[in-house]
């Protein structure tokens, strides 16, 4: 919270301001120093992790390190094209999921409108430690530029995250089933528990009214011993969920969203398989889904941007544990990351620049009263985003709502609803 000025009966007192100014400046200076120290510590940690990962890969490869380079001189290019096509399919599935959720709130938007948003958001997520949180804020702002209200933007972003988490748990569970009898007995109970929890969470986001009532019940029973800050966040979440009761996707729609989310992860796992085949390595077919799911968990660790270094070392070690040669495992992992990380980051930042230019043009046209006709399906599209913005502001000014869309303020810095933002 921003500190308030000292006041008496609504009028600032000069002496009070003078007396309190130095401590405020001291606090600000101390906060700045602590922030710089945290940044320095994080930077040192990232450098240490990257260095340790590089040393691990070198030591793990040992004398076969030279063979890793030779593997890249004899690439099977047709498999590399398969990897690129599978990555495109993964991005398309994620864009379709976002489009479907936004349409549940009455926003007529096409998949092609969300493709650049998906790519740019992925670049943000992969370029920063704990980048998923920044990517959610970025996607939320882009939804609003397409015409989504504040409530719809929050619900669509959090629902997509819950569905994707449930789909990844499904992929990991399938991987545990097919991996083999010894590991199956160890992994199935744990992954089964995770899958049930993720499935329940994604189902509840499909029924925000029910989720709000559950939070209210928990709040009433735990208000006596929970910290006030936690209670305030829960109350804020309950109020936000009450505003989302109009979003009630059918069971068929929700099932389709889950199937498409599984296809998103499935296409990305095909990238891993194609990367291994590109360098001429054998594919551990029974373990590939499990290795892939573990790599995605390493990506989410808030240590380095996009799990850089952590994923390379971890995935290489996992592949060698399933009887793959060190040379081929290292080369295959590096090829997989070249496609699924470096290429997507590059393309994503190009998409982010494209969106920034088009958003600026749309804003200028809106300011001058030139609202271009929609280019996407249903009269939407990035060429028509200025019209959506103008309509949303008009509804806000007159106190009207169109369908389930509630135009609202754009939170500063892309913050999500307090109490609903993922921790």
414 contacts 138 by C-beta, under 8 angstroms: yes
User: Domain ranges in the chain?
Assistant: 60-150+264-414
pLDDT of residue 182: 77
CA dihedral (154, 139, 159, 191) in degrees, to 10, reads: -140
d(CA 241, CA 251) in angstroms, rounded, equals 19
Burial zone of 243 (CB within 10 Å; 0-12 exposed, 13-18 middle, 19+ buried): buried
Task: Please state, in angstroms and rounded to a whole number, the distance separating the CA atoms of residues 191 and 368.
Answer: 55
Q: Is 13 exposed, middle or buried (0-12, 13-18, 19+ CB in 10 A)?
A: middle
Residue 150 has what pLDDT? Answer: 83
Q: How far apart are alpha carbons 17 and 22 in whole angstroms? A: 9
The backbone region for 379, taken as left when phi is positive above 0, alpha when psi lies in -120 to 50, beta otherwise, is left
Query: Angle at Cα 19 formed by Cα 17 and Cα 23, nearest 5°?
Result: 100
Predicted structure pTM score? 0.72
pLDDT tens digits for the chain (423 residues)? Answer: 444 443 333 434 334 434 444 445 555 556 666 666 666 665 666 566 556 655 655 555 555 555 666 667 778 899 999 999 999 999 999 999 999 999 988 888 889 999 999 999 999 998 887 778 888 888 889 998 888 888 888 888 888 999 999 999 999 999 999 887 878 888 888 999 999 999 998 888 888 777 777 777 776 776 667 677 777 777 776 676 777 777 888 889 999 999 999 999 999 999 999 999 998 888 999 899 999 999 998 888 877 788 888 888 889 889 988 888 888 888 899 999 999 999 999 999 999 999 999 888 888 887 787 655 444 334 444 434 434 443 444 433 333 333 333 333 333 333 433 333 333
Q: CA-to-CA distance for 163 and 254, rounded, in angstroms?
A: 9
- Cβ proximity of 75 and 65 under 8 Å: no
What is the structure's pLDDT at 128? 80
Q: CA–CA separation, 329 vs 306, rounded Å? A: 20
Q: Output the furthest CA–CA distance in the chain (Å, rounded).
A: 79
State how far the Cα of 119 lies from the Cα of 97, in Å rounded to an integer.
14
pLDDT, residue 119, reads: 94
Distance CA 36, CA 235 (A): 33
């Amino acid at each position: 919270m921003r500190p308030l000025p000292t006041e008496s009966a609504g009028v600032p007192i000069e002496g009070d301001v003078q007396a309190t100014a130095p401590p405020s400046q001291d606090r600000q200076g101390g906060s700045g120093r602590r922030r710089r120290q945290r940044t320095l510590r994080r930077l040192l940690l990232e450098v240490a992790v990257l260095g340790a990962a590089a040393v691990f890969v070198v030591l793990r490869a040992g004398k076969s390190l030279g063979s890793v380079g030779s593997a890249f001189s004899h690439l099977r290019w047709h498999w590399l094209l398969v990897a690129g096509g599978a990555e495109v399919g993964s991005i398309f599935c994620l864009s379709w999921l976002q489009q479907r959720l936004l349409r549940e709130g009455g926003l007529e938007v096409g998949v092609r409108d969300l493709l650049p948003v998906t790519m740019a958001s992925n670049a943000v997520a992969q370029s920063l430690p704990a980048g998923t949180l920044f990517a959610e804020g970025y996607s939320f702002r882009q939804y609003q530029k397409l015409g989504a209200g504040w409530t719809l933007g929050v619900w669509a972003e959090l629902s997509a995250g819950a569905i994707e988490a449930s789909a990844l748990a499904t992929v990991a569970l399938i991987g545990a089933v097919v991996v083999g009898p010894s590991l199956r007995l160890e992994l199935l109970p744990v992954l089964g528990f995770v899958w049930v929890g993720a499935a329940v969470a994604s189902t509840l986001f499909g029924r925000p009214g029910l989720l709000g009532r559950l939070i209210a019940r928990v709040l009433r029973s735990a208000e006596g011993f929970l910290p006030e800050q936690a209670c305030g966040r829960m109350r804020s979440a309950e109020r936000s969920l009450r505003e989302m009761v109009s979003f009630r996707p059918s069971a068929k729609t929700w099932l389709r969203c889950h199937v498409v989310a599984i296809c998103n992860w499935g296409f990305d796992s095909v990238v891993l398989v194609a990367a291994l085949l590109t360098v001429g390595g054998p594919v551990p077919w029974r373990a590939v889904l499990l290795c892939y799911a573990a790599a995605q968990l390493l990506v989410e660790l808030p240590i380095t941007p996009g799990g850089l270094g952590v994923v390379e070392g971890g995935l290489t070690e996992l592949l060698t544990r399933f009887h793959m040669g060190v040379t081929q495992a290292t080369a295959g992992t590096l090829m997989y990351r070249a496609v699924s990380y470096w290429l997507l980051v590059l393309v994503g930042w190009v998409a982010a620049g494209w969106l920034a230019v088009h958003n600026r043009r749309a804003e200028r046209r809106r300011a001058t009263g030139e609202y271009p006709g929609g280019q996407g399906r249903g009269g939407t599209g990035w060429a028509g985003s200025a019209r959506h913005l103008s309509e949303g502001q008009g509804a806000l000014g007159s106190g009207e709502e169109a369908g389930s869309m509630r135009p609202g303020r754009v939170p500063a810095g892309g913050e999500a609803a307090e109490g609903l933002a993922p921790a």
